[in-house]
Structure formats: structure tokens, C-alpha cells
Amino acid sequence: EKGTYPHYMLKEMDEQPGVVRKIIQEYSNEAGELTIDDQILEAIKAADRLYIIAAGTSYHAGLVGKQYFEKLAGIPVEVHISSEFGYNMPLLSEKPLFIFITQSGETADSRQVLVKVKELNYPALTITNVPGSTLSREADYTLLLHAGPEIAVASTKAYVAQVAVLAIAAYVTGKSLGKGVVLDLKQELAIVANGIQTIVDSKDELEQIAEDYLKIARNAFFIGRNLDFCVSVEGALKLKEISYIQAEGFAGGELKHGTIALIEEGTPVFALATQEQVALNIRGNVKEVVARGANACIISMEGLNEEGDRLVIPKVHTLLTPLVAVVPLQLISYYAALHRRCDVDKPRNLAKSVTVE
Ligand code: M6R
């Protein structure tokens, strides 16, 4: 039930700090340490390569998950769009493990890949919000998102849950493989939950940003580098799906390879700057678009912020920034859609679970 909320989407965005806390709790053992099921851990450790298969927002979570498994556990990862993988399977490694990320557990594009994977006798793990869903039943293993039902077509809390569960799985694997993982993920995730809370408590500011940048916009761009790039594509998907504003998310460095031709007087460009390694580069990209008339909205992080940044998100561990940085983009999209009187929870032409290929 959405109770006093005008939309499920708003309620579900507000639930995100609680979702992260719930995941910490669900994935902690009696000693209070983060853990995943032993069998799943062994299956991940036995793989020479992970193949993440997903669609839409879940695919975007997979892009972040790749970095977690590679950086924390040292396991190579490929991320594939289900509908592409299904009809054009790449050469596989000798011992692949397939990881299906799906909020609903019912997405037909992903399921058809799972069916093929099982025919080939490869192991499969489903990360889903819905216990007993088709992709959970048909895979060998399941990790649950514990996000509670997600009703709005636009996925918000499930994305945050997917990224958090992927972080935990990669972290636990890295520790078990003796990869010298130094961060205290449990503590860092608790900091993330508080950071998300700060953002969802800044609704007035985010509504104002939507008004200032998107009121009359026909299109919008989202740029970032490294993990911020992964969040940019998710921000663009959120905006287009609920506000019908044409949006594109891409890597900052790609601007000069074509997209910058589209920048005109007043074109909104949302730039994420949460990654220290590439902070200067992304700020350079912002200068390039501003010089061509763009209306740039820089979203940076405490410690990396500069004067003129429109929003500064609370500081979190550099690997975990997607969990927090995605939230302002969700809320900006929400308000942009509201201002345009769009049906936020049920955007045109879309279904919550896409059960046709
Ligand atoms: O249930 P799934 O995670 O498999 O769904 C995948 C996509 O259909 C889904 O994420 C879709 O892109 C959302 N509407 C995005 O907000």
C-alpha cells in the first residue's frame, strides 16, 4: 500500500535507506560479519569468469557489479544485455558462472538465456527481489534483494538493493579468496544508508533542480566516468521512462567523439563527479559543454566538491558512490515527470515485468 504517498515511486525511493539496512542485517551472520550462503560462495570461487545477464535497470546494476567482482575478488566479469546474449552467445570461458539480475524474476529475455545456460549445464545464480519467481526456481542458487515489493514501473529501490547485494557477494568472495580486501563493507554500507537518507530528505532542492534544468527541456544528457558512468546510464533511463524526455547517459570522454554536436544553448547536462581518480577529467568535460551553451548541473561528493556544484552528496566509500549518486537522479526524474503531469507509476507503453521476448 502506498499509504499517504501520492505515488509508489516516491514511497519506494524513500524506503531506500531502510532497504540498505535490511540487507546488512539479512546478510550478517551470528558473529555480525557479512556473509553469503556457503554453496553460493563456493560456486563463485569455482568460476574462472562471471557472466552477468540482465535487462534495463538490472543491467545497469550489473555494470557496477562487474567492478565489484573484479576489484574486490579479482574475478573477471562480462555484463550482457539478456536480449543480445540470447541470440548471439559470445565465446565462453571454461568454468563460467552465470549471474542473472532481475527484480521481478520473470523477465522473459533473461529467462530465455537461463534456459540455454541450463541446457549447456552451466551453473546459474539469480539475484532477485521475488522468492519463488521463475528465474529463482530455475537457477541453481538465489540471492534475495529483501527490498520489499516494488510496484512502480520505474525501478528504484531494487537497483540500490541489487548494487548492495552485489557488493556484499564480491566482498565476501574477495575475503574468502584472501584478496586483501581492506574496506569494512558493513560499516561503509551503514554510512551509505545515512547518505541516502540525507538525499531523500532534500526533496525540495531536487524538485527545484528538476524545475531549473528540465522544465522546458526536450532532451538531456548524463555524463560520468568510471562508476559515475554506470550511474549516468541509469539516470538517463529513469528520466526517459517516466518523463518522456529524450535522455542519453554516456562516458564523459565520449563527448568529443560525437555527442557534443548536440549541445545547444540551454541543453541540460547532468555531470556526476564522485570519482576522485577522474574528477578533473569530468570537470573538463563540463567546461567543454558549458562553453557551447549547456546548462550543466554538477553533482559531486563531499571532499571532491567545488564552488558552483549544484548538489553535493554525502561522502561514502569510493566504490559505493552509485548507491547514493543514483538517488538524486531518481528524484529529479520523478519531479520532472510530475511537472509534466506524466503517469509516474505507470508510464505509457511499459509494464512492470516484461514477460515477452
Ligand atoms: O524485473 P527485472 O529486473 O528483470 O526487469 C528488468 C527491466 O525490465 C527493468 O529494470 C526496467 O528497465 C525498469 N522499468 C527500469 O526502471
Find the 51 Cα to ligand 1 centroid distance in Å: 18
CA distance 221 to 57: 17
Helices (H), ranges, 54-184: 56-68, 82-85, 108-119, 134-138, 157-176
- Show pLDDT as tens, one digit a residue, over the chain (357 residues): 889 999 999 999 999 999 999 999 999 999 999 999 999 999 999 999 999 999 999 999 999 999 999 999 999 999 999 999 988 999 999 999 999 999 999 999 999 999 999 999 999 999 999 999 999 999 999 999 999 999 999 999 999 999 999 999 999 999 999 998 899 999 999 999 999 999 999 999 999 999 999 999 999 999 999 999 999 999 999 999 999 999 999 999 999 999 999 999 999 999 999 999 999 999 999 999 999 999 999 999 999 999 999 999 999 999 999 999 999 999 999 999 999 999 998 888 888 888 888
* 352 given a catalytic annotation: yes
What nine digits make up the cell of 263? 549541445
- Nearest to residue 302, comparing CAs of 291, 292, 312? 312
Nearest atom, ligand 1, residue 159 CA: 10
Indicate the top mutation candidate among 83, 107, 109, 231 to test ligand 1's pocket, ranked by most ligand atoms within 8 A of CB: 107
What is the predicted ipTM?
0.99
